[in-house]
Structure 1
Amino acid sequence: MIIKNAKVITLGNPNLFIEPGGVRIDQSGKIESVFNGDNVPEPMGGEEVIDAHGQYLMPAGICAHTHFYGAFSRGMYIPGDAPDAFPAILDKLWWKLDKSLDKDANYYSAMVCLLDAIHNGTTTLIDHHASPNSIPGSLDILAKAVMESGIRASLCYEVTDRDGKIKSDEGIAENVRFIKEAQSGKFGQQISALFGLHASLTLDDSTLEKARKECPDSSGFHIHAAEHVVDEYDSIKRSGLRVVERLNQFGVLGPKSLVAHGVHIDAHEIELLAGSGTWLSHQPRSNMNNAVGLPNVESMLNMGVKVCLGNDGFSNSSWEEWKAAYFAHKLLNLDPRRMQADKIYQMAIVNNRELVKTQFNGLETGEIKAGAAADLILVDYKPFTDMTIDNFPWHIIFGFQDGMVTTTISNGKILMRDRKITVLDEEAVIKEAKQISTAVWKKYHDLF
């Protein structure tokens, strides 16, 4: 495939604007070459040529932490008084919704999230799954949806003791089985696996010990950490250690492990994350929605923590998460100088692609360069002020919007062309998902 007549934004180091320019994609789904408008290659052997007509050609988005299983929470009525804090949100919403999921619900909740990702130009996602009444084989179901969509994803099952030891053991077994399958090459480079854990506050010492023992050395963990202060108090009560200290004691930290949130960690915990090379994913929209506070991201970055950007199951528009991070930290600190857009660029672009490299056997993506995976988007953005390399992150915050992505390509395969999904029957998926969501809502309400 050749894409020509584009305004190329490489997002490399350094970031380059090539206008006009384009790329040639080889048969393996990688970028073969990047060219300027004076050197458009001649198509060979039936190569498809896409004329971008002056649209921006950029790397596709990456999401460092999401939850496909939460899709059917949208618009769902929660009986009784509104949850007054995060522990009540867990108890009244998420820990009843996940119990209401079966195989079909797992599949279609993933499918609608994948459709949303394609529409928003996000082609790599790191998911964290829970369905305690449908654990064995649940990751295979998600993998089926991911493979059909053409998206790239890292999958895991959220091990927890909140539903008893039998189910926590099932979760451990599901992770171990699926990690071995993913590492066997069964899914190529489209799917990888982590060992999922819920959070310190729902994990006993014996389960953490077993998880560390069973987890293959070649894999890392994916766990929530200190999303709410209750996680810290619970950890201190259990062990006399703060959350990250406790996870470190059980060997959960490391350069392939990913912790989500870290809202209430202290300076020593930040040092442990930085020193161990552990990744941390920031989800500002979720943190605001749950009123749990916001992590001290700027200090984490300054201390060497590899902070990434996820969405925690919100929409897969990475730009919306950029905007939330930009505004929320300013408001929290009552200081408009805080959380500048270049910090968000570091998380969402640079760190996210480095995280993907650790999870997908060194895969290069998130940058337009020869040899990188052709994970690309065309964006119909018409700036009415100058857009330069220096001010580009601020154009993302104040200019780029949902719906501007017209074409999404993953590994050289077109998933959406001119805003039309090409790999899935979108109407059929949504119709079936709506019927299944009705059954899920009934099961959910029956638990009250």
Structure 2
Amino acid sequence: MLIVNGKILTWEKPNRILDAYAVLIRDGIIVEVAPQADLTARYPQEEKLDAGGQYVMPGNICAHTHFYGAYSRGMAIPGSPAKDFPEILEKLWWPLDKSLDDEAVKYSALVCMIDAIKHGTTTLIDHHASPYAIDGSLDLVAEAARETGLRCSLCYEVTDRDGEDRSKAGIRENVRFIRRVEQEKNPLLAATFGIHASLTVSDATLERCRAEIPSGYGFHIHVAEHSVDEYDSLAKTGKRVVDRLHQFGILGDRSIIVHAVHVDAKEIAYLAETKTWVSHQPRSNMNNAVGLPAVESMMRAGIKVCMGNDGFSNAMWEEWKTAYLAHKLWNLDPRRMGGYDLVEMAVYNNQQLAQTQFGGVPVGVIAPGAWADLIFVDYKPFTPFTGGNAPWHILFGFNESMITTTMVAGKVLMRDRKILVLDEAAVMEEALRIAPQVWERYNQKF
């Protein structure tokens, strides 16, 4: 198709906004970006998708999320409020993940993916847990991805907290799904090898994970989200978390470290030396009151810091805005976390991470050879809008309700705010039917 009558925000480096240009797409890939008059003259019979004067830009990328957390929305947690992050895990997340069955796994993924389509997030890297429904759980999430048409990388969270048998089952699920991804060669589906966190895995489990991971894949693990992770590692091994993971070969240029709030200078050096990716989730860090990581120092050290949402809504511009404000307040300094730093994380580093996940084809940029994962944004600026000042228009002008159209690999998933790939009302109705059953099981597990 030809996308015409749009203003194109490319997210190249440097970023450009192109007026009176069109985008030619073939087989899900952007073939050419050129003046509209030229392309329409050369391809008069090509199907046209009219952007109607809106901004055409790459879909957003989420470097870390949890689809399975969907059923926490509105759920009452018994007893007094959790006083810290360890209590949040014990009172909310660990009883909840035990409450998921196959049906709940599938529909928690579907509702989150619908949310992603509506909020213009086209690539998501998920970290799944359902200890009472492990076998085949990643197939259920992958089926939701197939139905919605989104680009997703999946893994299962290995942990010892539910016993050795379930720990080994989690390892098998990761390996099985990675082999499936290798066989299918679906460009919209990728895999990592999930581990929960250092504080819930033994040395023996880390050894097994390292021994079982297929060649060419990386790990996806929470690190030092709260200081308890560091103190647990020091008590068990005499090493800080990143040092311990480094010892077991968990770090590397295919691995994603999530949060890294309480890492020290040596741990930052290890992450930089091993070219390990770090994902930052400011809304989650604020909600759990765990502090904020030294993102700017990490990037200065050479770490590719990306941006995820940790299971919050897939409105990634909200994550941008939170990061922009939270780091200023945390450091009592309005100069911290500038717009260009945000774009480095949320756009350019996320682009590179997604490219490593999905076969080396560029994702998240409008340029020849990149996947046509695009959104239309109905934004009407009343001040000059350029490639250079785009971060501040997004921070102070954009909101997700302006997204009218979402496509992945050239397939339109939403057009004029209507989901085209499935019956949204039917999915929500079924998800609502399942929710009370999940909540009942949660109260039994609590």
Whole-angstrom distance in 2 between the partners of 1:154 and 1:359: 7
Report deviation, 1:125: 0.2
Report if aligned partners of 1:10, 1:17 keep a CA contact under 8 Å in 2.
yes
Whole-angstrom distance in 1 between the partners of 2:163 and 2:87: 20
The equivalent residue for 2:244 is 246
Whole-angstrom distance in 2 between the partners of 1:237 and 1:217: 32
Whole-angstrom distance in 1 between the partners of 2:167 and 2:328: 40
Whole-angstrom distance in 2 between the partners of 1:189 and 1:252: 25
The equivalent residue for 1:64 is 63
Whole-angstrom distance in 2 between the partners of 1:346 and 1:75: 34
Which amino acid is the alignment partner of residue 428 of structure 2? I
Which amino acid is the alignment partner of residue 136 of structure 1? D
* 1:389 aligned counterpart, secondary structure: coil
Q: Does 2:296 align with 1:298?
A: yes
Whole-angstrom distance in 2 between the partners of 1:230 and 1:170: 26
* 1:88 aligned counterpart, secondary structure: helix
Report deviation, 1:20: 2.0
Report if aligned partners of 1:20, 1:54 keep a CA contact under 8 Å in 2.
no
**1:230-256 alpha-carbon deviations (Å, 9 max, x no partner):** 000000001111000000001000000
Report deviation, 1:187: 4.9
Between 301-310 and 49-58, report the one with greater CA deviation. Answer: 49-58
Equivalent runs, 1:222-261 vs 2, <5 Å: 222-261=220-259
Whole-angstrom distance in 2 between the partners of 1:220 and 1:56: 35
Which amino acid is the alignment partner of residue 355 of structure 2? K
Report if aligned partners of 1:4, 1:40 keep a CA contact under 8 Å in 2.
no
* 2:70 aligned counterpart, secondary structure: helix
Whole-angstrom distance in 1 between the partners of 2:268 and 2:77: 36
Whole-angstrom distance in 2 between the partners of 1:179 and 1:141: 14
Whole-angstrom distance in 1 between the partners of 2:338 and 2:38: 37
* 2:306 aligned counterpart, secondary structure: strand
* 2:286 aligned counterpart, secondary structure: helix
Whole-angstrom distance in 1 between the partners of 2:249 and 2:175: 16
Report if aligned partners of 1:8, 1:58 keep a CA contact under 8 Å in 2.
yes
Whole-angstrom distance in 1 between the partners of 2:22 and 2:36: 7
The equivalent residue for 2:85 is 86
So what's the TM-score if we normalise by structure 1?
A: 0.98
**1:124-162 alpha-carbon deviations (Å, 9 max, x no partner):** 000000000000000011111101110000000000000
* 2:246 aligned counterpart, secondary structure: helix
Report if aligned partners of 2:32, 2:367 keep a CA contact under 8 Å in 1.
yes
* 1:83 aligned counterpart, secondary structure: coil
* 1:171 aligned counterpart, secondary structure: helix
Whole-angstrom distance in 2 between the partners of 1:398 and 1:164: 48
Report deviation, 1:446: 1.5
The equivalent residue for 1:55 is 54
The equivalent residue for 1:95 is 94
Whole-angstrom distance in 2 between the partners of 1:420 and 1:36: 29
* 2:38 aligned counterpart, secondary structure: coil
Report if aligned partners of 1:43, 1:49 keep a CA contact under 8 Å in 2.
no
Structure 1 unaligned blocks of 5 or more: none
The equivalent residue for 2:383 is 385
Between 38-47 and 310-319, report the one with greater CA deviation. Answer: 38-47
Count of matched residue positions in the alignment of Structure 1 and Structure 2: 446
Q: Residue 282 of structure 1: which of 249, 259, 280 is its match?
A: 280
Which amino acid is the alignment partner of residue 96 of structure 2? L
The equivalent residue for 1:214 is 212
Equivalent runs, 1:120-269 vs 2, <5 Å: 120-184=119-183, 186-269=184-267
Whole-angstrom distance in 2 between the partners of 1:76 and 1:207: 32
Could you say if the C-alpha distance between residues 70 and 46 of structure 1 is closer, same or farther in structure 2, counting changes exceeding 3 Å? farther
Report deviation, 1:46: 6.0
* 1:39 aligned counterpart, secondary structure: helix
Whole-angstrom distance in 1 between the partners of 2:363 and 2:416: 23
The equivalent residue for 1:119 is 118
* 2:349 aligned counterpart, secondary structure: helix
* 2:145 aligned counterpart, secondary structure: helix
Structure 2 unaligned blocks of 5 or more: none
Whole-angstrom distance in 2 between the partners of 1:292 and 1:78: 20
Q: Does 2:20 align with 1:20?
A: yes
Whole-angstrom distance in 2 between the partners of 1:42 and 1:267: 57
Report deviation, 1:44: 5.4
The equivalent residue for 1:5 is 5
Whole-angstrom distance in 1 between the partners of 2:149 and 2:445: 36
RMSD of aligned C-alpha atoms? Answer: 1.0
Whole-angstrom distance in 2 between the partners of 1:331 and 1:22: 42
